[in-house]
Structure 1
Amino acid sequence: MNVVVEWRKSVALTGTVVKYLAVPLLVPLVVALYYGEDVGVFGVSIVGTMLLGLAVEQLDPGTELREREALLFVALTWFVVAVVGAIPYVLAGWGTASTLADPVNALFESMSGFSTTGATVMGEIGVDRHSHALMMWRQLTQWLGGMGIIVLMVAILPELAVNGAQLINEEAPGPSLEKLTPRIATTARILWQAYFAFTALLAVLLYALHWFGYAPEMNLYNAIAHAFSTLPTGGFSTKGASIAAFSAAVQWVVIPFMVVAGTNFALFWYLFDGDLRAPLEDTEFRAYAGATAVFTAILFGLLFNGAAPTLALGGTTEGSVANALREAAFQVASLMNSTGYATSDFAQWEVYSQLFLLLVMFVGGSAGSTGGGIKVVRWLIVLKALRRELFHASHPDAVRPLRLGDVVVDEEAVRGIVGFTLLYLLLFGVAAVFIALDASRVGIALTPLEAIGASLAAIGNIGPAFGRLGPFGSYLLLPDTTKVLMILLMWAGRLEIITVLVVFTRSFWGQ
């Protein structure tokens, strides 16, 4: 018997989320009032967002939110929020030479923000041309998307708490949510409290650098703005030169927070609760920390020996232990966790160094973190599954369960993780070919590394690619068809692919 999806319930709840989106829009409105810029833009955006949310909310048929409606709600919410989030860009760019006046470009920038990708169509010059208020909204979209819009809604809306576990699992980066308390709403609040605390701490430390004279450009506005994009591993900056616009001291402060952002936030709950051994006993965290250290050591060796012909922030890396170590640690923390901040143009590095960075991008952060990519725990399980298959080739009658630490991983979970990884790689490969062919169609010759990097940057929510699409470049040169594809990839990548793709299948709709 086919079950019809009650789409009105999902759409109505999406309207509720849109209605509450008017609240964070007050932040850039305050900034607009302070600087006297774009006040009308955010006043209209707030009123329009509120009215749209209230209108759509009326579709609620009063039925229960079942499994398929929950899936549709999560997928739809993330796309609609990005559409609504693009409104300030379009209004601010109206009648100006801004690239964001184009709705496709505005949606690209908005989806990139909410999905914490950090890819931009502004470019180095474009970022510096826009108002403080618009740039703060750009930063804030990443912060809202980092820990998760649905997680936030479950934390504050009682009507979503009933299905909270499923909703969060569909949104959360990684195979599954670790329930920290008996009530899922309490768990959601704990995660957001930890997220807020780290954000506030980074903002204070960055502004302290400015206060004590170590970072003249890092005023209070920039300190808050970069805290908003570091913890969600977003990578947007209020400066066209990104972190390279600030002193080397800023880079040293940001590095550990990028590593924190790529860590499972549940571990911090255990630490705050007094369990100091929790991270050391967590298999994924040990692998994550080990991979970060190994990648940093390798990149340090490459940079120290002249792999980066361009200057890094604070000077050349060749022959300099301090500069090479700082640059290596920063790039690994930034790209492995999908932050995408820039301190030097790695698009100008030697090819073998760029290929190494491509490898780093594939790894991803931890499950339950704000990092993008495939995730460390999935790679661990895939590698263990491959090793088990090799063992079974010579011992066909043996029964060997797959373990992650002391935990036996369910076989259904193993198949799901292997299937996700293959689907991720397939979409990445197909998208890379499309990007290259579509660019060629309009007379743009992308190198293979640029096309591969663009595809991975979108689906992995990483941000910068290589060449003209690198850390100081822009995706503006790509045709609209490619931008639309990348918008869809960023959307799917943030929701772990399956949540988005399943709503486009006939079986989902009961046919």
Structure 2
Amino acid sequence: MISRIRADWRAATSLTGSVIKWLTIPLLFPVILSLYYGRGLSTFLATIVIAFSVGWGLEQTHNDPADALGPREAFLMVALTWLLVSVVGAVPYVIEGAFTSYGASSTLRLPVNALFETMSGFTTTGSTVMGSISFENHSRALMMWRQETQWLGGMGIVILAIAILPELSVGGAQLMDAEAPGPGLEKLTPRIAETARALWGLYVGLTILEIVGLYAFHRVGLAPEMTLYNAIAHGFTTMPTGGFSPEARSIEAFTAIVQWFIIPFMIAAGTNFALFWHLWNRDLQTVRNDVEVKGYIGVIGILTALVAGLLFTNLGSEMLTGGVEPAVRHAAFQIASIVTTTGYASMDFNLWGQQTKFVLLFAMFIGGSAGSTGGSIKVIRWIVMLKALRRELVTAAHPEVVKPVRLGSQVIDETAIRGIFTFTVLYLVIFALGTLIIITIGISGESLTAFEATSAVAATLGNVGPGIGLVGPMNSFLPFPRSSKLLMVFLMWVGRLEIFPVFVLLTRSYWQT
């Protein structure tokens, strides 16, 4: 007997097509830049035609997909959207690398490399396979598209689609649940489309604020390299906790005041955006009582103090000179960058001592807040697990005690606690298997240590960006063979969607009655 397929894949595919078709709108920005700078116009015009054609073709698979949208279709639509948007987003890299004289030496002309770069972009990972980050081998339009992919992926492509596409508002709640970065995304308004618009409004506002601030430093002479182009480029990748930079040396290329200025924006990007909405509406009590934000700021503060101490005492780095200020600045910047999974670098932390590198590796598993643009496991999950473990210790000694797990005054449902433990165990299992596979495959002609492989998998699965050693902040993932790159593409995709929306598609029960 042949089982009937339960998920309406045509509805999910059709809605995915709608999102891909509307990808032509953000592609217009690189078109404008290509006209201004005189390079890359044909690349992006061709991409627009391809994106519109693919999107329109997928739309035709279902007449009225919104009516058929349920939880199963939401999982499929979200997973497909992130995968196919990354595939279409890779087209400019391949075209420019293969068909332009200045891009002929680009490593991104190879489809695997292009897919790696664009998946890293949309998932806001920030890992790169660019052999040379320069305007000699890449047009300014393409480099800005690379930045823009992170900005689009930061708050969520599907959440943006819910905010602007009426056909998605019907099943918006299921879609937001499937895509939401964290255990849950707070519904801020009665209508889910209004919540999506509120989140994106806050996101846009903070991005503009950072761009204006960065360019202001340039105008007053405090940041000579922070041109308007660079200000926009880094505004596009700070708030999504992305980490791409058109500068080969990342934020090290800019003055100390720029590094200090970016730190609070990285921390803000890793904060639950619902808190900014409450602040905007003058609901200070909700912000003050938020347990997660206290833990989040506390972790950043403690790790910053630890790394600053190591750097200042030269246990962390013999390359760091200048006293207290640079030690505190680089510690605060790098911890904020790694914990929030932004992935910027204020200096090459490969030069730091082994103790400090272990602190950074540990920080890769913390993550930002739920409802933020940060990746990895998330602070709220660690808080709930620690409280649950403490509860188990108490009840082991006093079996008669009934002790619920609380976040402030809120009692956490036992189902939610099991879900958090399940996610974390699955995350760590995927991390361990990924590390084992990467070590087994190795790198032809180069040595790959277990520590480097561990950091590479932690960086891609957690959407952190740079790893340590061979994949450090001033290096790239280019030396890895094709099979390893495809595995890490999968890890970035799975990590951004927080495992379940992808893995549920791999179960037999999802597809059959």
What is the TM-score normalised by the length of structure 1?
0.97
Measured in 1, the distance between the counterparts of 2:441 and 2:177 equals 35
Pick one of 203, 207, 227 that aligns with 1:219: 227
- Conserved in 1, the CA contact under 8 Å of 2:14 and 2:60? yes
Alignment of 1:448-459 (within 5 A): 448-459=450-461
Query: In the alignment, which residue of structure 1 is the partner of 2:492?
Result: 490
The offset of 1:128, in angstroms, is: 6.0
Residue 392 (structure 2) pairs with residue 395 (structure 1):
no
> What is the one-letter code of the residue matched to 2:473?
P
Query: In the alignment, which residue of structure 2 is the partner of 1:510?
Result: 512
Alignment of 1:37-56 (within 5 A): 37-56=39-58
Query: In the alignment, which residue of structure 2 is the partner of 1:160?
Result: 168
Pick one of 69, 72, 75 that aligns with 1:65: 69
- Conserved in 2, the CA contact under 8 Å of 1:17 and 1:77? yes
Pick one of 473, 476, 479 that aligns with 1:477: 479
Measured in 2, the distance between the counterparts of 1:212 and 1:196 equals 25
Pick one of 364, 382, 396 that aligns with 1:361: 364
> What is the one-letter code of the residue matched to 2:20?
V
Measured in 1, the distance between the counterparts of 2:173 and 2:136 equals 41
User: What is the CA deviation profile of residues 110-136 of structure 1, one whole-angstrom value per residue up to 9, with x for unaligned ones?
Assistant: 000000000000145567631110000
The offset of 1:348, in angstroms, is: 2.1
Unpaired stretches in structure 2, ≥5 consecutive residues = none
Partner-residue secondary structure (3-state), 2:284:
coil
- Conserved in 1, the CA contact under 8 Å of 2:40 and 2:139? yes
The offset of 1:307, in angstroms, is: 3.4
Q: Name whichever of 122-131 and 43-52 sits farther off.
A: 122-131
User: What is the CA deviation profile of residues 241-280 of structure 1, one whole-angstrom value per residue up to 9, with x for unaligned ones?
Assistant: 1111111111011000000000000000110101123322
- Conserved in 2, the CA contact under 8 Å of 1:124 and 1:473? no
Measured in 2, the distance between the counterparts of 1:506 and 1:174 equals 25
Measured in 1, the distance between the counterparts of 2:136 and 2:500 equals 37
Query: In the alignment, which residue of structure 2 is the partner of 1:94?
Result: 98
User: What is the CA deviation profile of residues 425-461 of structure 1, one whole-angstrom value per residue up to 9, with x for unaligned ones?
Assistant: 1101110111111115x45421111000000001100
Residue 273 (structure 2) pairs with residue 269 (structure 1):
no
Query: In the alignment, which residue of structure 2 is the partner of 1:259?
Result: 267
Query: In the alignment, which residue of structure 1 is the partner of 2:463?
Result: 461
CA RMSD of aligned residues (A): 1.4
The offset of 1:3, in angstroms, is: 5.5
Measured in 2, the distance between the counterparts of 1:414 and 1:78 equals 28
Measured in 2, the distance between the counterparts of 1:90 and 1:439 equals 26
Partner-residue secondary structure (3-state), 2:442:
helix
Query: In the alignment, which residue of structure 1 is the partner of 2:122?
Result: 114
Query: In the alignment, which residue of structure 2 is the partner of 1:386?
Result: 389
Partner-residue secondary structure (3-state), 1:146:
helix
Query: In the alignment, which residue of structure 1 is the partner of 2:327?
Result: 324
The offset of 1:12, in angstroms, is: 0.8
Query: In the alignment, which residue of structure 2 is the partner of 1:288?
Result: 296
Q: Name whichever of 329-338 and 115-124 sits farther off.
A: 115-124
Query: In the alignment, which residue of structure 2 is the partner of 1:197?
Result: 205
> What is the one-letter code of the residue matched to 1:330?
F
- Conserved in 1, the CA contact under 8 Å of 2:364 and 2:464? yes
- Conserved in 2, the CA contact under 8 Å of 1:310 and 1:344? no
Query: In the alignment, which residue of structure 1 is the partner of 2:411?
Result: 408
The offset of 1:380, in angstroms, is: 0.3
Query: In the alignment, which residue of structure 2 is the partner of 1:78?
Result: 82
> What is the one-letter code of the residue matched to 2:353?
E
Measured in 2, the distance between the counterparts of 1:87 and 1:81 equals 10
Query: In the alignment, which residue of structure 1 is the partner of 2:238?
Result: 230
Partner-residue secondary structure (3-state), 1:362:
coil
- Conserved in 1, the CA contact under 8 Å of 2:105 and 2:137? no
Unpaired stretches in structure 1, ≥5 consecutive residues = none
- Conserved in 1, the CA contact under 8 Å of 2:307 and 2:316? no
User: What is the CA deviation profile of residues 85-119 of structure 1, one whole-angstrom value per residue up to 9, with x for unaligned ones?
Assistant: 00000001005111000000000000000000000
Q: Name whichever of 393-402 and 381-390 sits farther off.
A: 393-402
> What is the one-letter code of the residue matched to 2:421?
V
User: What is the CA deviation profile of residues 290-340 of structure 1, one whole-angstrom value per residue up to 9, with x for unaligned ones?
Assistant: 1111111111101111134364xxxx34x6111111111100110000000
Q: Name whichever of 406-415 and 57-66 sits farther off.
A: 57-66
Pick one of 6, 18, 36 that aligns with 1:34: 36
Partner-residue secondary structure (3-state), 2:62:
coil
> What is the one-letter code of the residue matched to 2:368?
G
> What is the one-letter code of the residue matched to 1:368?
G
The offset of 1:235, in angstroms, is: 0.1
Pick one of 370, 375, 380 that aligns with 2:378: 375
The offset of 1:51, in angstroms, is: 1.5
Partner-residue secondary structure (3-state), 2:402:
coil
- Conserved in 2, the CA contact under 8 Å of 1:78 and 1:491? yes
- Count the aligned residue pairs: 505
The offset of 1:468, in angstroms, is: 1.3
Measured in 1, the distance between the counterparts of 2:223 and 2:30 equals 24
> What is the one-letter code of the residue matched to 1:367?
A
The offset of 1:14, in angstroms, is: 0.6
Q: Name whichever of 54-63 and 339-348 sits farther off.
A: 54-63
The offset of 1:7, in angstroms, is: 0.6
* 1:492/1:128 CA distance change after superposition, 3 Å: farther
Measured in 2, the distance between the counterparts of 1:305 and 1:433 equals 35
- Conserved in 2, the CA contact under 8 Å of 1:288 and 1:366? yes
% identical aligned pairs: 54
Residue 287 (structure 2) pairs with residue 279 (structure 1):
yes
> What is the one-letter code of the residue matched to 2:340?
N
The offset of 1:61, in angstroms, is: 4.3
Query: In the alignment, which residue of structure 1 is the partner of 2:351?
Result: 348
* 1:34/1:308 CA distance change after superposition, 3 Å: farther
Partner-residue secondary structure (3-state), 1:363:
coil
- Conserved in 1, the CA contact under 8 Å of 2:156 and 2:179? yes
Measured in 2, the distance between the counterparts of 1:468 and 1:307 equals 21
Partner-residue secondary structure (3-state), 2:248:
coil
Partner-residue secondary structure (3-state), 1:340:
coil
Measured in 2, the distance between the counterparts of 1:127 and 1:167 equals 38
Measured in 2, the distance between the counterparts of 1:276 and 1:20 equals 37
Query: In the alignment, which residue of structure 2 is the partner of 1:206?
Result: 214
What is the TM-score normalised by the length of structure 2?
0.96
Measured in 2, the distance between the counterparts of 1:127 and 1:66 equals 46
Measured in 1, the distance between the counterparts of 2:300 and 2:5 equals 47
The offset of 1:191, in angstroms, is: 0.3
